[in-house]
Amino acid sequence: MIFTDISVFFKSIIDSDIAPVVVCDTSHKIIYMNPTAISRYEKRGGAALIGKSLLDCHSSDSNNKIKAVLEWFGKSAENNRMFTFHNAKENKDVYMTALRDENSKLIGYYEKHEYRSSETVTPYVNI
């Protein structure tokens, strides 16, 4: 079977990511959460957050920063990634990443978590 809809592959990539992925449109509406995000944010509503504003989940200080980054994304198609903070407890860096259509128009953003701890699982075990 040959898939012609590449979106199936992209959804599979996002869904298999061990980091939470929350995708928002330019009005800050949550349009997608991968299974890790749904589980991680279960106490805040989990899947019920989809369709709601991301801004309702953050402090006014964080909201101001999110809005400023989105505005910066809109200034240039070259502005696509902003470091937002380091989470020492989980040893990860967190970024806001712009999402653009095929014409480089800003269509939304997502938060990207990049873990810095070395993997502890044995490579290629049980294959």
Q: What is the CATH number of the domain that holds 88?
A: 3.30.450.20
Q: What is the residue range of 51's domain?
A: 20-115
pLDDT at residue number 2: 67
Asked whether residue 127 is assigned to any structural domain, the reply reads: no
12 located within any domain: no
Q: Whole-structure pTM over 0.95, yes or no? A: no
CB atoms within 10 A of CB 12: 11
Question: Does residue 72 lie in a domain region?
Answer: yes
- Is the separation of the CB atoms in 33 and 47 below 8 Å? yes
Residue 120, in any domain of the structure:
no
How many domains does the structure of the chain reveal? 1
36 within domain boundaries: yes
Helix (H) / strand (E) element for 92: namely: strand 92-100
Strand (E) positions, 12-91? 22-25, 30-33, 81-87
Q: Nearest-CA neighbor of 49 among 39, 59, 60?
A: 39
Task: Check residue 103 and give its pLDDT.
Answer: 97
Block mean pLDDT (10 aa), the chain, length 127: 79 95 98 97 97 96 97 98 96 96 97 91 86
- Provide the pLDDT for residue 50: 98
Supply the pLDDT for residue 3: 61
The residue to which tokens 């509406």 are assigned? 29
In a domain, 47, yes or no: yes
Give me the pLDDT at residue 127, please.
Answer: 84
Q: Is residue 25 part of a domain?
A: yes
- Residue 53's pLDDT is 98
CA dist 65 and 74 (Å) reads 14
